[in-house]
């Protein structure tokens, strides 16, 4: 549970809450649990992401 102290401005506190919510990865975890993905699809996405990152690193080295 995220605790944000509200001192004076509710908009500012709400903005802090949203920022902390995004940083903790809660939104991503909720999206992952929302829909089941097959393990083969997860592995495929993981390898595609690794290939993309490797491609970016190769371009940096050039």
Residue 49 maps to a domain: yes
For the chain, how many structural domains are there in total? 1
Residue 20 maps to a domain: yes
pLDDT in tens, 22-40: 888 888 888 888 888 899 9
Residue 4 maps to a domain: no
Distance CA 21, CA 6 (A): 16
pLDDT in tens, 43-55: 999 999 999 999 9
pLDDT in tens, 3-19: 767 777 888 888 888 88
Residue 3 maps to a domain: no
The domain containing residue 29 runs over which residues?
10-61
pTM score: 0.49
Residue 2 maps to a domain: no
Distance CA 19, CA 51 (A): 30
Residue 40 is predicted with a pLDDT of: 97
Residue 7 neighbours by CB under 8 Å, 6+ apart: 13
């Amino acid at each position: 549970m995220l605790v944000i102290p509200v001192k004076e401005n509710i908009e500012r506190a709400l903005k802090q809450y949203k920022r902390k919510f995004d940083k903790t990865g809660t939104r991503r975890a909720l999206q992952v649990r929302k829909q089941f993905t097959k393990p083969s699809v997860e592995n495929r996405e993981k390898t595609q992401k690794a290939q993309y990152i490797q491609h970016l690193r190769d371009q940096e080295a050039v």
